[in-house]
Every structure is written in structure tokens, then in C-alpha cells.
Amino acid sequence: MDVTFWVASKATPTGLSKKNTRIIAQKNPVATKDAPRRTVPKDDEISAPTTAERKAARSSMSLNAKYVFETYVVGASNEVAHAACRAVVSKPGDAYNPLLLFGGVGLGKTHLLQAVGNALAKANPTFNILYVASETFANDFVQSLRMHTTQQFKNTYRNVDVLMVDDIQFFAGKDKIQEELFHTFNHLHSRNKQVLLSSDRPPSAIPALQERLSSRLSAGMVADIKKPDYETRLAILEEKREEKDMPVDRDALSFIAKHIQSNVRELEGALNRVAAHCDLHNRRATVDYTKQVLKDLIDKPQQKTANTKSVIDAVIMYYDLSKDEICGKSRKKEIVKPRQVAMYLLRKEGNMSFPSIGEHFSGRDHTTAMHACEKIEKLIEHDEDLSQEIVFLKERIYA
């Protein structure tokens, strides 16, 4: 049987990244424009793949072999997510189904997802495991509509034992794609097939996400991955130094861990930069040498307070709104909350007066700004999702 390949690449807000490129097997040949229109079968009419098809898909499916549990450093910031992933490997389709991991950029969501896939493939050689980026799922679905091959799309995504979709926040506002993910999830879940997803925020915080889909995704296990603390950052650096046999002193690693705190990706990038300089000059990295190599990163001026533009830009990007909507006079529920969050952040992070805050939002009275700040402050105490949203927004404001 012919096996067709396509490249699944991790999506970013500005497009596709060449990094983390994966090759995934598609069990059906690509349709041509001359392909006849087919009647879309009902869910229970989806044809099961033959043994040969399943073997072809498994043998062609490629997860990145470097993403395994053994190379994932566990700390207080990610121990719950790690434990949940381990539980899924022990009881796929039973423990935490679906499992959704969420956290900021570069904190290890993709590593954990693929570690689950690699562990399941090793423990269950007959499993059909499919890992795709959200961009790939969306493109495949749109292509199936254009080519009238929705049956093939369903066979690809629903005849699996494990489905992993990375970065589902990019489905925000795409109703048809959300609907297809909803039905795909229902099909797999009803057959005790494992579903794993990742996002940069919890389902309830993804703008324009259908309520029924958000409810389904939240019904399983939702585990967050926070920014690593100093001890975890140091452990990650030591793991990488040992893995690649880098000539870097432990004091130099400690210096990097103390000064690079944003995410794991930048932490590893700083270490690789120091190691590259060591190779180039054939020397070992001491603390003084590391300071010299990373001078432009360490000495980068840090923003102490948030200005109006940085706060509003972060809020409108996070909630997928326009500046006119957030600063305007609309009283729609989906706009009022983000507006109150923006007012809260301007007060707490920008040290702005209530009258000044009101002026930035269509000249609202200072009592409106006071009410907004008090409301958000009270909600944060018992609303974990909102609390996490505030954390993400602060990260974006000071990025």
C-alpha cells in the first residue's frame, strides 16, 4: 500500500517554525482536484484500517527520539504534569483522558507530549500513535473539505490509539475546526482511545472556544507547567552539560540559572551559546568567561513598570480583541472582563491612578476603574484560571 508523508510543523503566531519538524504518516493517498464528490459517512461508518495499513502508519510515524522521560527534568513547577503523563503511559485511555498540558512558551509541553508518545510506542508496539501540531490538523481538515475527502481525514485521525495535538490555542475563533476536533475527540473517547493536547493557557481562557469543546477538554486532567524555579533551572543545565559533555564549570551553570529565568528554551540557548564560544576558543567556561559571553543578555535593561501600551497590547493579543473593542464603550461580556483585567494590570503593574486609567478607556469615571480592580482582585483569590491568565499576561508585558 502507498504511504504518503507530510511535514507537521509546530505553529507559531507568525507562521510555521522550522524547528521541531516532524514526519507523520498519512494512510490515504492525496486526492486530486478531479476526485469525485463523496457523501460524508456517519461516524459509525468509518472504515477501520487493515492490519497492513496500521503497520505502515506505525512504521512511518516519527516522534523525536530525544523527547523522552529520562531527559525531562522534574521540579516543583512541572511535577503534576509529569506525573499525569506517566499515569497515561501506565493506563492509556483510562487515566486522565483527555490530558491537556498548558503553560507558557518554552516550558517543555512538547517534550512531555512526545515523551508520552515514545513511551507508549515502546510499551505497546501495536499502537497507532499520531502526533500533530494544531496547524497540521487545521490544514488537513481544510484540505479535506476542498478536495471532498473528509472520509480520508476521519480515517486518519479517528483510527488511532493515541492522538496528540500540540498548541490548540490556535483553534480560537475557528468554529468548523473546533467542531471537527470535538467530534474526533468524542469518537476516540467513546472507544477508550487516549487524547492528549497542549495549549499556552487553560481551555476556559482560550478566546472564542466553543463552550461544549471547552467543557469536554476540562473534563479530563488539565495540568499546568509553570516557569522553573532556580533549583530546577540548575538541574536542567547540569543535565544538558552532562548529555553533551560541555566544558562548563558548575559555578558558571549557577550564574546562568540565576540570570536566565524566562523559560527552558532560553536557558538552554544561553548554555549552548557559552559552549559554542568554548569550542571556538578551545577553553573551559568559568563564571567570568560566562559573564563576558552572555553580557548582552544579562545586562539587557529590565522594564520595572508596565506602560499603557504594553498592557493593552498584551491583553488584546491574549483575548483576541482589537484596541477599539477593549478601550471602547461595548458592554458585551466577552469584552468587559478583558477590559477589567487591563485596568487591574495598569493599576498593579503600572502604578497608574484610577482617573488616569479611566481616561484610557473612553473617559470612564475613576469609580469604574476602582470597581474593575476590586472585582479582579477578589476573583483571583478563588478563580485559578483567572489567576493563571494574570500570570501569563505579566509574562507577556515584561517579555
63-122 pLDDT per residue, tens: 888 899 999 999 888 999 999 999 999 999 988 999 999 988 888 999 999 999 999 999
**How crowded is residue 35: how many other Cβ atoms within 10 Å of its Cβ?**
12
pLDDT in tens, 252-296: 999 999 988 878 888 989 999 999 999 988 999 999 999 999 988
Name the strand (E) or helix (H) holding 138.
Answer: helix 134-147
Q: What is the DSSP string of 16-29?
A: E-STT-EEEEESSP
Mean pLDDT over residues 322-349, rounded?
91
Q: Which domains does the chain have, with CATH numbers?
A: 4-225 (3.40.50.300), 230-298 (1.10.8.60), 308-398 (1.10.1750.10)
Q: b/e for 176-201, b at 16 or more Cβ within 10 A?
A: ebbebbbebbebbbeeebbbbbbbbb
d(CA 293, CA 240): 18
Over residues 208-228, mean pLDDT: 88
Q: What is the mean pLDDT of the chain?
A: 82
pTM of the model: 0.64
- Distance between CA atoms of residues 44 and 47, nearest Å: 8
Measured in residues, the chain has a length of 399
Q: Which residue in the block uniquely carries the three cell numbers 482617573?
A: 355
Phi and psi torsions of 73, nearest 5°: -85, 125
Identity at 246, one-letter amino acid code = M
Prior bond of 98 cis (ω within 30°):
yes
- 326 within 8 A of 315, measured Cβ to Cβ: yes
Measured CA to CA in angstroms, residue 86 lies from 41, 62, 71, 131, 195 at distances of 36, 20, 14, 17, 14
Q: With left for phi above 0 and alpha for psi between -120 and 50, is residue 66 left, alpha or beta?
A: alpha
CA 368 to CA 56: how far, in whole Å?
62
pLDDT, tens digit (0-9, with 9 covering 90-100), for 159-203? 999 999 999 988 988 899 999 999 999 999 999 999 999 998 888
Distance CA 99, CA 113 (A): 10
Measured torsion, CA atoms of residues 262, 265, 267, 270, in degrees rounded to the nearest 10:
-120
Alpha-carbon distance of 147 to 384, in angstroms, equals 43
Give the residue, 51 or 392, on which the prediction is more confident: 392
pLDDT tens digit string along 37-68? 444 445 444 555 554 444 434 433 468 888 99
Which pLDDT tens digit goes with each residue over 354-375?
888 999 999 998 889 999 999 9
